[in-house]
Structure 1
Amino acid sequence: MTTVTSPGAGGHSPDERSLRVPGARLHHEVRGSGPLLLLVPGGPQDAGVLADLARRLADRYTTVAYDPRGNSRSLLDGTAEGRADEDQRLDVHADDAAHLIRSLGGGPADVFGTSGGAQIALALATRDPDLVRAVVAHEPPCVMLLDDPSEALAHDREIHETYLKEGVEAGIALFLGLNGLDGTEPDAPEQGEGGGAPPPMSEEDAATFERVSGNFEYFLAHGMLPLSLYRPDTDALHRNGTRVVVGLGEGSLGQDIHAMGSALAGRLGIEPITFPGDHLGYEAEPEAFADVLRCVLADG
């Protein structure tokens, strides 16, 4: 494994690095100093969606956000456009996260994962518990832990079939609608005060939005179902003693994703922690979100 570094300028830009791992090169962004905190984005997302959160936590941690393999700047070897025509594998994602932690000193690290990234964090803690001090799993799509997953599975299959028949735009629109996220596009700015036009995107946010949009087809074709169908090994997590915190957005109450996270917490015998906002609370309310995450990690 090799790391290529592109130093950031000043205190606001990250130290951008590229880590060679088996079959891919992982783009990751390092900020701050202190204990290692790995930040894992979900689904089609990349390090950019966690940049604001990473900056706010860099006063206490060495924050490392990355693009999961196949997304944005983490290209796969020997494939067209850096993506493979095969389903994503949670064991491979978990191994990538382990390689990152080892490249940055070997941990143990605190790991925050959101949505599909929470599934990756849980898989990492199962496979390499010695590398993980604590996992904060924010709204993991643990479909298979529901008492009756049939309705959620039907939603996922409907989204996938819609994508195959009608294309990326229709598939993503249905994904957002069925998950209660159709008020805005992923990573798009919120409405301005008084319901007016949203403020213009920053250059950084616009670049992130463009990259993430470019990942939608890969997510619909090869990511959504594997990430949702992964069943965390709660018995193994109990045995290895990994500290797991399940985070649920206060704005997600009543949504399927809230029930899935609650099911994981129940299997682990823990009470979930309420985080600000909904499924994208780390973007909509980054300061309050960071405060809760600091407290959760400090409690361990």
Structure 2
Amino acid sequence: MTGPTIGRLRVDGATLHYEVRGEGPLLLLIPGGTGGAAAFDGVADTLAADYTVASYDPRGLSRSPLDDPEAEQRVERHAADASRLLDLLSPDAPARVVGCSSGAIAGLHLLTTRPERIERLVAHEPPVVEVLPDAAEHRALLARVRDTFRREGPMPAAAVFAAGLRRPGDPVELPAAVELPPQAAARAERTMADMPYFLGRIVPSFMAYRPDVDRLEALSDRLVLAAGADSRGELPYRPAAFLAERFGTELVHFPGGHTGLTTHPAEFGELLRTVLTT
């Protein structure tokens, strides 16, 4: 399959880098973390057999620069960016949308504010911790991450953040040193370069966001809440499970954990194809 078509879209305060593959109804992929459009490289070509697949770097990350690098980031603004892409690429028909992690949070806001533009939303582990009964504990975690970031820098803050996401008592597993192929190495370099922005601007804002739960419940017939089969009990898993129970809907388990999209791309992509059409 040929490579994606690359586009640039001016939005309020930023310029978005986006990539389009395939033909058919639009499927918009909203990445989480620092992955950007490349986070979906393992599944995009497979999905492009059935859809026009669009992925992008969210504002401020990788190839989507901000006009003001110090601008405050808000879920509402990121959701508006996704809305602009929907209007550009599928102006006459609603689209399917997949969001992972922080991208799933943007997707939830998009669904509640522009439901007429979304046929189905798959939200994989949106860490909307404000819906949880122990939300105060997670606000304390965010405060520790913020304070560590200011005192010691992004990598110690990332360690505090990662520890707060794990199940209580889980051991810390250090990644083994491996030599990456050039494309993967370039992606890893972009990820590390984006870490200060992600921890300093995205994490505090997105994890403080509380979705309109009543509105989501009214729209739950077009919402698929998803989580990793291996991440039961971890913090990003819990809001999806909580909302699915409240709405009386199924929590769909995808292969792997919070990053199953990266660790199990083939299996993740196949289940995603099924979920998008049933």
Preserved contact between residue 237 and residue 258 of structure 2 (Cα < 8 Å): no
User: How far apart are the structure 1 equivalents of 2:221 and 2:205?
Assistant: 23
- Give the aligned residue type for 1:110: R
User: How far apart are the structure 2 equivalents of 1:25 and 1:267?
Assistant: 38
What SS does the corresponding residue of 2:119 show, helix, strand or coil?
strand
Cα distance, 1:241 vs structure 2? 6.2
What SS does the corresponding residue of 2:38 show, helix, strand or coil?
helix
Cα distance, 1:177 vs structure 2? 2.7
Cα distance, 1:184 vs structure 2? 5.9
Preserved contact between residue 245 and residue 273 of structure 1 (Cα < 8 Å): yes
- 2:145 corresponds to: 159
Cα distance, 1:132 vs structure 2? 0.6
Cα distance, 1:85 vs structure 2? 4.0
Cα distance, 1:12 vs structure 2? 4.2
- Which of the residues 205, 210, 220 maps onto 2:199? 220
When residues 139 and 297 of structure 1 are mapped into structure 2, their CA distance, relative to the original with a 3 A threshold, is: same
What SS does the corresponding residue of 2:230 show, helix, strand or coil?
helix
User: How far apart are the structure 2 equivalents of 1:233 and 1:160?
Assistant: 26
Preserved contact between residue 234 and residue 267 of structure 1 (Cα < 8 Å): no
Cα distance, 1:179 vs structure 2? 2.0
CA RMSD of aligned residues (A): 1.8
- 1:103 corresponds to: 88
Note if 1:84 corresponds to 2:70.
yes
- Give the aligned residue type for 1:295: T
When residues 68 and 104 of structure 1 are mapped into structure 2, their CA distance, relative to the original with a 3 A threshold, is: same
- Give the aligned residue type for 1:151: E
- Give the aligned residue type for 2:17: H
User: How far apart are the structure 2 equivalents of 1:31 and 1:183?
Assistant: 36
Q: Which runs of 4+ in 1 moved over 6 A?
A: none
Question: Structure 2: which 5+ residue stretches go unaligned?
Answer: none
Superimposed CA distance per residue, residues 235-294 of structure 1 (whole angstroms, 9 cap, x where no aligned partner): 223445661011110110121222121112223331200100000001100010011111
When residues 136 and 280 of structure 1 are mapped into structure 2, their CA distance, relative to the original with a 3 A threshold, is: same
- 1:13 corresponds to: 3
User: How far apart are the structure 1 equivalents of 2:28 and 2:44?
Assistant: 9
User: How far apart are the structure 2 equivalents of 1:246 and 1:204?
Assistant: 31
User: How far apart are the structure 1 equivalents of 2:263 and 2:174?
Assistant: 11
When residues 165 and 279 of structure 1 are mapped into structure 2, their CA distance, relative to the original with a 3 A threshold, is: same
Paired residues for 1:1-300 under 5 Å: 11-77=1-67, 79=68, 83-86=69-72, 88-106=73-91, 107-180=93-166, 183=173, 198=178, 200-240=179-219, 243-299=222-278
Deviates more, 1:169-178 or 1:108-117: 169-178
User: How far apart are the structure 1 equivalents of 2:258 and 2:65?
Assistant: 26
User: How far apart are the structure 1 equivalents of 2:139 and 2:64?
Assistant: 29
Cα distance, 1:55 vs structure 2? 1.8
When residues 128 and 182 of structure 1 are mapped into structure 2, their CA distance, relative to the original with a 3 A threshold, is: farther
Q: What is the TM-score with the length of structure 2 in the denominator?
A: 0.92
User: How far apart are the structure 2 equivalents of 1:241 and 1:281?
Assistant: 24
What SS does the corresponding residue of 2:151 show, helix, strand or coil?
helix
Preserved contact between residue 119 and residue 141 of structure 1 (Cα < 8 Å): yes
User: How far apart are the structure 1 equivalents of 2:174 and 2:56?
Assistant: 24
Preserved contact between residue 136 and residue 247 of structure 1 (Cα < 8 Å): yes
Superimposed CA distance per residue, residues 90-141 of structure 1 (whole angstroms, 9 cap, x where no aligned partner): 1111110010011102241111000010000011111111111111000010
When residues 140 and 155 of structure 1 are mapped into structure 2, their CA distance, relative to the original with a 3 A threshold, is: same
Question: Structure 1: which 5+ residue stretches go unaligned?
Answer: 1-10, 186-190, 192-196
When residues 206 and 105 of structure 1 are mapped into structure 2, their CA distance, relative to the original with a 3 A threshold, is: same
User: How far apart are the structure 2 equivalents of 1:22 and 1:258?
Assistant: 32
Percent identity, aligned pairs only, is 40
Deviates more, 1:163-172 or 1:47-56: 47-56
User: How far apart are the structure 2 equivalents of 1:207 and 1:61?
Assistant: 27
Deviates more, 1:267-276 or 1:109-118: 267-276
